[in-house]
Homo-oligomer: A and B are copies of this chain.
Amino acid sequence: MKNNRNRQVILKSRPADIPQADNFEIVESDVPDLRDGQILVHNIYLSVEPAMRGWVSSVANYSEPVRIGEVMRSFAAGEVLQSSHPDFNPGDKVMGLFGWQEFAVVGPAAVTRKVGEADLPLSLSLGVTGINGVTAYFGLLDVGQPRPGDTVVVSTAAGAVGSAVGQIAKISGCRTVGIAGGPAKVAQCRDLFSYDAAIDYKRDDLASALGAACPNGVNVYFDNTGGTISDTVLRHLAVGARVVICGTASVASWDPWPSGPRAERHLLVKRARMQGFVIFDYAPRFEEARIRLAQWIRDGRLRYCEDILDGIEHAPGAIAGLYRGENAGKRLIRIR
Q: Is A211 an interface residue (CB 8 A)?
A: no
**Bound state CA distance, A265 and B263, in angstroms?**
13
Measured in the bound complex, the distance between the Cα atoms of B61 and A265 in whole Å is 9
Stretch of A267-275, A293-301, A303-311, A324-332 contacting B (4+ beta carbons < 8 Å): A267-275
Q: Which of chain B's residues have a CB closer than 8 A to the CB of A259? A: 259-262
Knowing A260-B259, A281-B271 touch, does A226 contact B276 (C-beta < 8 A)? no
- Please determine whether A276 and B281 come into contact, CB atoms closer than 8 angstroms: no
Instruction: Contact check, A268 vs B278: say whether CB atoms are below 8 A apart.
Output: yes
How far does the alpha carbon of A61 sit from the alpha carbon of B261 in the complex, in Å? 17
Tell whether A49 is near chain B: CB-to-CB under 8 Å.
no
Question: Is A254 in contact with B245, judged by CB distance below 8 angstroms?
Answer: no
Compute how far the CA of A276 lies from the CA of B262 in the bound complex, rounded to whole angstroms: 13
A251 within 8 A of B: yes
> Which residues of B are found within 8 Å of A258, using beta-carbon distances?
261-262
Interface residues of A in 236-274 (CB under 8 A from B): 245-248, 251, 254, 257-274
The yes or no answer to A230 lying at the interface (CB within 8 A) is: yes
Query: Chain B residues near A262 (CB, 8 Å)?
Result: 226-227, 248, 251, 257-260
Are A264 and B230 CB-contacts (below 8 A) given A275-B272, A276-B270? Answer: yes
Q: How far is the CB of A292 from chain B (nearest CB, A)?
A: 23
Report copies per complex: 2
Q: Complex Cα distance A261/B62, Å?
A: 19
Max count, chain B CB within 10 A of own CB: residue among A62, A248, A258, A275: A275
Q: Judge if A277 is at the interface, Cβ distance under 8 Å.
A: yes
Contact A276 B264 (CB under 8 A): yes
Segment 95-146 of A: residues with Cβ below 8 Å from B = none
Task: Answer whether residue A283 sits at the interface, using C-beta atoms and an 8 A cutoff.
Answer: no
Q: Which residue of B lies closest to A264 (CB)?
A: B226
Are B276 and A268 interface neighbours, CB within 8 A?
yes
For A263, what are the chain B residues with a Cβ–Cβ distance below 8 Å? 263-264, 274
Q: Report the interface size for chain A: residues with CB under 8 A from the other chain.
A: 36
Complex Cα distance, B271 from A275, in Å, reads 7
Q: Determine whether the beta carbon of A274 is less than 8 Å from that of B269.
A: no
Query: Which residue on B lies nearest to A258, using beta carbons?
Result: B262
Out of B226, B227, B261, which one reaches A257, CB within 8 Å? B261
Contact B223 A269 (CB under 8 A): no
Question: Is the pair A271, B276 in contact by a Cβ cutoff of 8 Å?
Answer: yes
Contact, CB under 8 Å: A272 / B267: no
Inter-subunit contact B248/A264 (CB<8 Å)? yes
Which of B60, B61, B267 is A276 in contact with, Cβ under 8 Å?
B267
By a CB distance below 8 angstroms, the chain B residues around A264 are: 223, 226, 230, 245, 248, 263, 274, 276
- A268-B277, A273-B276 are known contacts; what are 13 more A-B pairs with Cβ within 8 Å? A62-B268, A227-B262, A245-B264, A245-B267, A246-B268, A257-B262, A259-B259, A263-B263, A263-B274, A266-B276, A272-B275, A273-B273, A274-B274
Query: Closest 3 A-B residue pairs measured CB to CB?
Result: A267-B276, A268-B276, A273-B275
